[in-house]
Amino acid sequence: MVGMVCAMTPTVGLQMSIVLAIWFIAHRVFRWDFSLVNGIAWSWVTNVFTMVPVYYGFYVTGQVMTGRFSEFGGYASFRRVWAVLLTADGNAWDRFVAWVNLMITDWGMLMIIGCIPWAIFSGWLAYRITMNFIIRHRAGRKERHRLKRRPAEKATTN
C-alpha cells in the first residue's frame, strides 16, 4: 500500500526514498511494520517511462476536481511540454529550475490534487492484491507442509 501510494504521486525519482523514509518513521516511531522490499517494488509502477501518461492522468483529474473543464490542452500538447523539458539544452540546473517552475506555477497544484484519488484507490488495490497473494501463499505452504508430514506419520503408525 505504501509503495503504491508513493508511486501515485508526482514524485518520480524520489519514490523509493520516500518509501524508505515512511518505513523508517513507521517502524521506529509508530512500531508499525510493513515490507520495505514490497513497498519499494510497488513504487516502481511509475518510473521515467510511465511518468508522462501518469502525470497527465493526475493533471486531468486535478482539472476535473477543481472544475476547470475548459482548460484541457490534450495529451499531445502535455507530452510536447514534457519532451521539451526533459530534452532541453543547457545545464542540469537550468532544466531543474524549468521543471520546478512548471510544477509549481503551472501544473503542480492540479497534479497534486489530481493524484489524491489515484493514490488512495491504487494503494487500496495494491494492499488487497498483496494480502490475497500472501494468504494464498501461506495456505499453499501450509498444505505442502501438511502433505509432506502425512507419509512420515503413516510410516510411524504402521
Domain boundaries, the chain: 2-157
DSSP 13: T
Q: To 10 degrees, what angle do helices 51-65 and 75-87 make?
A: 130
- pTM comes to 0.73
The answer to which of 15-19, 66-70, 122-126, 141-145 has the lowest mean pLDDT is: 66-70
Q: How many CA atoms lie within 13 A of 151 on its CB side?
A: 4
* pLDDT recorded at residue 20: 94
| Res 158 pLDDT > 60 | no
Q: b or e along 31-48 (b: 16 or more beta carbons within 10 Å of the residue's beta carbon)? A: eeebebebbbbbbebbee
62 in Cβ contact with 112 (< 8 Å): yes
Using pLDDT thresholds of 50, 70 and 90, give the confidence band for residue 151. low
| Res 89 pLDDT > 60 | yes
pLDDT in tens, 22-43: 999 999 999 888 889 989 999 9
